[in-house]
Amino acid sequence: MTLRNILIHPDPRLNKSATPVALVDDDLRRLADDMLETMYHAPGIGLAAPQVAVMSRVLVMDCEKEEDATPDPMVLINPAVVWESEERSVYEEGCLSIPEQYAEVERPAEVEVEWLGLDGKTRRERFDGLWATCVQHEIDHLDGKLFIDYLKPLKRQMITRKMQKLKREKARA
Ligand SMILES: [Zn+2]
């Protein structure tokens, strides 16, 4: 397994739609392993392939928050929301591509998602709580959308400027 470099906003690749996966092969399994390792290392609870510069519709997540809980890594290939609740919930979201910035985002409280597993089989599951927020946040990444796109323009611009500054500092370091 290899740690992959996480792209930091603003980066044009984070605003592009990713391509559906046609074949679950060894390359894809390797990518999923690397993404999980990169996510746990960061640490984060979700990561989408475009965040590591791979423009494929793949995401990984593990929202098990209890410290001594067994890890519950999930790999979702070509995920799609097939149902969403009318009930909404608000979570303070963050993103590994927008480090140390958090903001409240409102989304459907529950969603049902269909995806392809690493075994090539179709799965369907209903998510609620943090899992629901996380899976919607990550699917957004596959459509080139970031959580700051839900914020008012002024707040969004403020965060983007902070990230530009962070990137300049990193480039100099
Ligand atoms: Zn994110």
- What one-letter code names the amino acid at 90? V
Which CATH number is 111's domain given?
Answer: 3.90.45.10
Q: Answer whether residue 6 is part of any domain.
A: no
**CA nearest 165: which of 113, 112, 68, 99?**
99
- Integer Cα distance of 64 and 146 in angstroms: 22
Q: Encoding tokens for residue 29?
A: 């399994």
Q: Which of 64, 84, 138, 169 is catalytic?
A: 138
Q: Answer whether residue 3 is part of any domain.
A: no
How many domains is the chain built from?
Answer: 1
Kindly give the distance from the C-alpha atom of residue 10 to the centroid of ligand 1, in angstroms, as a whole number: 12
Q: Is 112 a catalytic residue?
A: no
Q: Answer whether residue 1 is part of any domain.
A: no
Kindly give the distance from the C-alpha atom of residue 137 to the centroid of ligand 1, in angstroms, as a whole number: 6
pTM: 0.96
Q: Answer whether residue 153 is part of any domain.
A: yes
Kindly give the distance from the C-alpha atom of residue 121 to the centroid of ligand 1, in angstroms, as a whole number: 26
Flag whether pLDDT at 67 surpasses 80.
Answer: no
Range of the domain at 46: 12-172
Kindly give the distance from the C-alpha atom of residue 9 to the centroid of ligand 1, in angstroms, as a whole number: 10
The DSSP call for residue 76 is E
Q: Answer whether residue 83 is part of any domain.
A: yes
Kindly give the distance from the C-alpha atom of residue 54 to the centroid of ligand 1, in angstroms, as a whole number: 14
Q: Answer whether residue 7 is part of any domain.
A: no
Q: Answer whether residue 111 is part of any domain.
A: yes
Give whole-number Cα distances, 51 to 66, 116, 138, in Å: 25, 20, 10
- Reported confidence tier of residue 85, pLDDT bands at 50, 70, 90: very high
How many Å separate Cα 20 from the centre of its chain? 16
pLDDT tens for 140-159 read: 999 999 999 999 999 999 99
Q: Answer whether residue 138 is part of any domain.
A: yes
Q: What is the pLDDT of residue 173?
A: 83
Flag whether pLDDT at 69 surpasses 90.
Answer: no
